[in-house]
Structure 1
Amino acid sequence: MTYVDLVLERLSTDDEREALIGGDTRLTRAQARDLLFRLADGLARRGIGPGDGVAAYVGNTPEAVLLVVAVHLLGARLVYVPPEPGPSELKALIERAEVSGVVVDPEFSTRLDGWHLADLPGDPVERTPAPSFTTVMYTGGTTGLPKLAVHRDDSRWSAFSQTPPMNMLCNTLITHGSGAGACQLALVTGSKLVLGPSTFDADTFVRLARDEQINATMFVPPMMYEVLDHPECPGPQFGVVIVGGSPLAPKRLRQAIEKWGPVVNQGYGMTEAKAITMMPATSVDLSRPDTLRTVGKPNPLTEVEIRDGNVWVRGPFVMEGYWGEPPLSETADGWFNTGDMGHLDSDGFLYLNDRSKDVIVTGRTSDNVYSRLLDDFVVTLPGIREAAAVGRPDEALGEVVHLFLVAEGPDVDVDRIRDSVVAELGELYQPRGVTVLPRLPLTKVGKVDKRKLRSLFR
């Protein structure tokens, strides 16, 4: 069974149970099923069928969630479009995706021509799901123009068919891997899915968590940090919290577990390779710091190898390849280089040292400084809320360490920070410059944007 079969099965029972909530819209299962079929009919009337490409330039709305299912119901190729490109980049992305149509939310309609989502629904014609479909997702784009990662339908969702329904709050963009996954998980389990705004806001999270009795949610780390720092941070009401997108600072993971209990699960994946590892909350031992740093063991069916310090993965959750390029099966026997650097311990737990592009090469012997190791240590120091280390160009040493900080108060003792870093990590890691910011810049999917920080030195 595909996830579409499971979604239709859930939406065909308990008609009056709430299924989707976003903004002022609240849909029961019966209403969601009706809208799903009407969206599919609207697409079919516009000539969309198996294999055709449909670009979704949408925000976090119930209609957009059902549009995704409608495209897959027809066996078409869904192309998620990121929300923030400029006009020229947006045009280039659409052209590269080779789509037959573009569906746009009203809030985006001034930036791109297409079929308005509000005008799309046709008649509620019931349809049998297509046997297969394709999803294309744009990569984060932190190293340049985003690429298009191609994923075929998989059967992983059948493993969740017996999972009890939850009240799930989706905080990330539904056009991002974690947001799309959260939506699919909610739909296949028959959960009530509550959509947060397209731009995360901790005040809104706190309100929705309270009012909608949320017991399951998913974050990228900076979002979770904002909630933990909120004066009205929810107590231990969650049954499951999943965090992914970038590694968690051990200090913050400890804080989350102490606040919410052993429910915080750290996942490791990316647009090109979903569900690589999972570190269940029940495996975290607060008395063992190493269990706070690992991203867990490989998920079933996923292989992980370390080659020259780089993390390579293979399995059914890894993309087929990039759109317009040869598939991985032809170029690398299905293996994908994640771009992360890490190691496996003797028990099979994976530890991430850094992104290869974020390693700072410095010193007279061109040694590697792993910026994540430095980031994680600095946030353990009193008065430091967030930290991001990058390489600053230096004529003599190639690069030197520059540290960006978000502090809890106005007074930051830079000398104390430098001394602490040297005492813990050694002279190589000593920051040669420190900049205090009100907040760190984030990418559109909520990761710290180190590329933007590095651009400050150009």
Structure 2
Amino acid sequence: MTYVDLVLKRLSTDDQREALIGGDTRLTRAQARDLLFRLADGLVRRGIGPGDGVAAYVGNTPEAVLLTVAVHLLGARLVYVPPEPGPSELRALVERAEVSGVVVDPAFSTRLDGWHLADLPGDPVERTPADAFTTVMYTGGTTGLPKLAVHHHDNRWAAFADTPPSNLLCNTLITHGSGAAATQLALVTGSKLVLGPSTFDADTFVRLARDEQITVTMFVPPMMYEVLDHPECPGPQFGAVLVGGSPLAPKRLRQAIERWGPVVNQAYGMTEAMAISMMPATSVDLAKPDTLRTVGKPNPLTEVEIRDDNVWVRGPFVMKGSADHQDWSGCESTKSVSTHTRRGEPPLSETADGWFNTGDMGHLDSDGYLYLNDRSKDVIVTGRTSDNVYSRLLDDFVVTLPGIRQAAAVGKPDDALGEVVHLFLVAEGPDVDVDRIRDSVVAELGELYQPRGVTVLPQLPLTKVGKVDKRKLRSLFR
């Protein structure tokens, strides 16, 4: 039984209960089920069947959510298209995925041509869900060119089938890993799914959390920081808050727990390897700072090993490989998945026996808790002996200093040392004591971590999925 079966089961009961809300659209379960079948019929009329690829270039709308389910209903291959690239790169990415059709929402973007989502629905023809389908997701692209990660369906959602419904607010794009997971979780549990705008806005979050009586929500860290800093930040109304997708500063996690209560769960995963670990709110002890730093214990279905300080994982949540150069006629088979890439991209760090190198550096303590030091590509190599500066360690420390809201350390090219540490900051006021920051860093972390430059910005640049865009920060040095 796939998640699609569970979704149809939920949408077939309590017809008038609200299921999907986004913008001015509000759909009951009956209306959502009807539209789901109509979207599937529209795809069939355009020649889509089992194994065919459908690219989705859409924003956060109820229609877009149901489109993704409709593709899987037919046993087709769903390809999530990221919003960051320009038109030429978008077309190249779609070409790489070898799809039979592209569905676009002009209200979201006009940078890609395809079948208009609003024109897609046909007749409400009821169909039995296919027993196999594939999802292709692009990586976030913060450290390099996006890659195509292939995931096959599994029964991971079966454990949530009897979970009571909630009011869930999705903040990230539904074409991003966390957004896709949030929408599927809501539909499987029969929850009221409220979609935030395609571009996150803290004012809108505050309004929706209040008006829709939100009890469950998911963030990437910069989004959560904006809400915590908002003058009308909600109080302890949530039953569960999940945060992940990029490093979370312990100071900010503490602030969230103090504001909302012991409901803030820190998750660790990525497009290529989802659901690696979880630090549940009930395991966090504010009197023990290390419990604010760990990303928890590995998922029981996921194996984690540390090799040369790198985090390697294996299990059902790990992608089956890259979609480049595929013969999609056998997309249900793992034999069709290759780890080769094209146009000079580095090969994916995956072994023949299913182990995947996350690109994160970390360690496991004696109790089995996983700690992350940095992304391997975000490590700053500096000093006369080319030592490693872990930018996450520096980021987390700087935000503990008075008046600093956000921090991002990157390596700035340097003729003598290769790289030097440069800090980008978001501060509470216009006056920032750079000397005090440098002295504090040296006193806490040592001379190697000393920032050689500091830039104060009104806000840190983010990717479309809400992660701090360190690649854009590095580009400011050119």
After TM superposition, the score normalised by the length of structure 2 is 0.94
Q: Deviations over 1:380-418 (max 9, x none)?
A: 000101111111111111111111111101111111111
Q: Does the 8 Å contact 1:106/1:118 carry over to 2?
A: no
Call closer, same or farther: CA 1:402–1:319 in 2, change over 3 Å.
Answer: same
Q: Does the 8 Å contact 2:143/2:470 carry over to 1?
A: no
Task: Give how far 1:329 is off.
Answer: 12
Q: Deviations over 1:207-245 (max 9, x none)?
A: 000000000000000000000000000000000000010
Residue in structure 1 matching 2:362, options 337, 342, 349 = 342
Secondary structure of 1:36's aligned partner: helix
Q: Output the CA distance in 1 between the equivalents of 2:165 and 2:51.
A: 32
Task: Give how far 1:84 is off.
Answer: 2.9
Task: Give how far 1:155 is off.
Answer: 0.6
Call closer, same or farther: CA 1:133–1:16 in 2, change over 3 Å.
Answer: same
Q: Does the 8 Å contact 1:328/1:335 carry over to 2?
A: no
Call closer, same or farther: CA 1:452–1:399 in 2, change over 3 Å.
Answer: same
Q: Does the 8 Å contact 1:320/1:329 carry over to 2?
A: no
Q: Deviations over 1:266-316 (max 9, x none)?
A: 000000001000000000000000000000000111000000000000000
Q: Output the CA distance in 2 between the equivalents of 1:233 and 1:159.
A: 32
Matches within 5 A, 1:323-338: 331-338=351-358
Q: Deviations over 1:133-162 (max 9, x none)?
A: 000001111233211100000110001011
Call closer, same or farther: CA 1:240–1:109 in 2, change over 3 Å.
Answer: closer
Structure 2 gaps of 5+ residues are 322-327, 329-343
Task: Give how far 1:107 is off.
Answer: 1.9
Secondary structure of 1:79's aligned partner: strand
Q: Output the CA distance in 2 between the equivalents of 1:214 and 1:143.
A: 34
Note the aligned Cα RMSD (angstroms): 1.6
Call closer, same or farther: CA 1:155–1:227 in 2, change over 3 Å.
Answer: same
Secondary structure of 1:106's aligned partner: coil
Q: Output the CA distance in 1 between the equivalents of 2:357 and 2:438.
A: 34
Q: Does the 8 Å contact 2:84/2:463 carry over to 1?
A: no
Q: Deviations over 1:18-39 (max 9, x none)?
A: 0000000000000000000000
After TM superposition, the score normalised by the length of structure 1 is 0.98
Q: Deviations over 1:42-86 (max 9, x none)?
A: 101111000000000100000000000000000000000012321
Equivalent residue pairs, number:
457
Q: Deviations over 1:110-155 (max 9, x none)?
A: 3222111101111101110000100000111123321110000011
Q: Output the CA distance in 1 between the equivalents of 2:396 and 2:347.
A: 36
Task: Give how far 1:181 is off.
Answer: 0.2
Q: Output the CA distance in 2 between the equivalents of 1:196 and 1:113.
A: 25
Secondary structure of 2:311's aligned partner: strand
Q: Does the 8 Å contact 1:320/1:328 carry over to 2?
A: no
Task: Give how far 1:106 is off.
Answer: 2.4
Structure 1 gaps of 5+ residues are none
Task: Give how far 1:455 is off.
Answer: 1.3
Q: Output the CA distance in 1 between the equivalents of 2:346 and 2:466.
A: 30
Call closer, same or farther: CA 1:256–1:363 in 2, change over 3 Å.
Answer: same
Q: Does the 8 Å contact 2:52/2:77 carry over to 1?
A: yes
Q: Output the CA distance in 1 between the equivalents of 2:420 and 2:110.
A: 44
Q: Output the CA distance in 1 between the equivalents of 2:349 and 2:249.
A: 35
Q: Deviations over 1:75-98 (max 9, x none)?
A: 000000012321110110111010
Task: Give how far 1:183 is off.
Answer: 0.2
